[in-house]
Structure 1
Amino acid sequence: MPVSTRCARSAAKRDAILDAACAVFLEQGYAAASMDAVAARAGVSKATIYAHFTDKDDLFGAVIRARCERNRTFAPVGPALDARATLTMVGRRLLELLLQPDTLAVYRLVTAEAPRQPELARAFYESGPGTGKAEIARMLVDLGRRGLLAVEDPWRMADLFTGMLRADLFMRTLLGLPQPEGSSIDQAVAAAVDTMLRAFAPSPAGAAG
């Protein structure tokens, strides 16, 4: 069998495992979910799962990373874009991901089980919010190098930006509450971007010419 065919089959099995694991985690909860249940849902052996993932924590983290990758949340942004366009694109991608039903369900799952399952909370944070903030911080560093933003603490800036995006729109959706009239992703992203541009505008001497 050609190497390319074997690789494609392996990737397909990995994707099937991730899809099955996401469904099992959401249906049964993290603590009750078992590798046997994931194997049965994916139609593979448990040995096949362990060939791809070391344990349940590793599998859960991979589920979170796969959601971000499939939604291209932190895919590279065009280097020719200015600060507003870059922040708007990244902000929209992130908020659209956060508002998806499966994302909200995973968030609720982690929040409910984190006190009893600290390893779950760690896997979720490192694979989701932590990775996301690191990618946004790198994007901000690039904007700073180009003289488009005043960047001294990119991690803090990324934290502020994601915090503004995960404000009222996200919280109301998470809680199943109605949205105020006129509330939208565009509005939430624009408000966060405007605030970032005002707060971290480059000085005239540091602006790109």
Structure 2
Amino acid sequence: MDGEDGFAVHDVVSVLSSPNRDYLIRNNGNQVKITSLRGKKLGLYFSASWCGPCRRFTPELVEVYNALSLKGDFEITFVSADEDDEMFKEYFSEMPWLAIPFSDSDTRDHLDELFRVSGIPHLVIIGENGKVLTDSGVEIIREYGVEGFPFTPERIKELKEQEEVAKREQSLRSILVSDSRDFVISANGMKVSSVAMLFIA
């Protein structure tokens, strides 16, 4: 079923479960009922241990997840493209979220097809109502991190507009000065104050 903007709407429970499995797993082996995801935003993280860009992106995603999971309304499910169970377990041990069991290759393959995954890392974000908010989650996390939450098209538009305003209104001072530092270092190692920079410019 498609939403008004062309993004699909899914019943998360039926999409993530299989005829003989109604749970996801944590990296400690604990099972979590899929029904517990109802009413939460959900990231489907398509990734694999053999993928260099995935290995670089996963720590960024862990950082965002750890910050957002405190709110209790955001969860991620790892959909592995690993080639064997050992590789899956080793890679999954670095992740604080849930996963489709490696043994359930039918569901993993179905999710790849359903969400048209053509390359990894790939992050699809689904809203509380089952509507796909974006299939560009990797780019959003890389660019905005936690600030991108709740990952709606409206939020991303707002952030892009803020960037445009900041670009138009930037000054030498706003580029070179931060909250913790109001100077730059000259070639000879001397501190040059932000006031002096304005005169130099």
Report the TM-score, using the length of structure 1 for normalisation: 0.24
Larger radius of gyration between Structure 1 and Structure 2: 2
Q: Taking structure 2 as the reference length, what is the TM-score of the superposition?
A: 0.25
Structure number with higher helix proportion: 1
More strand by share: 2
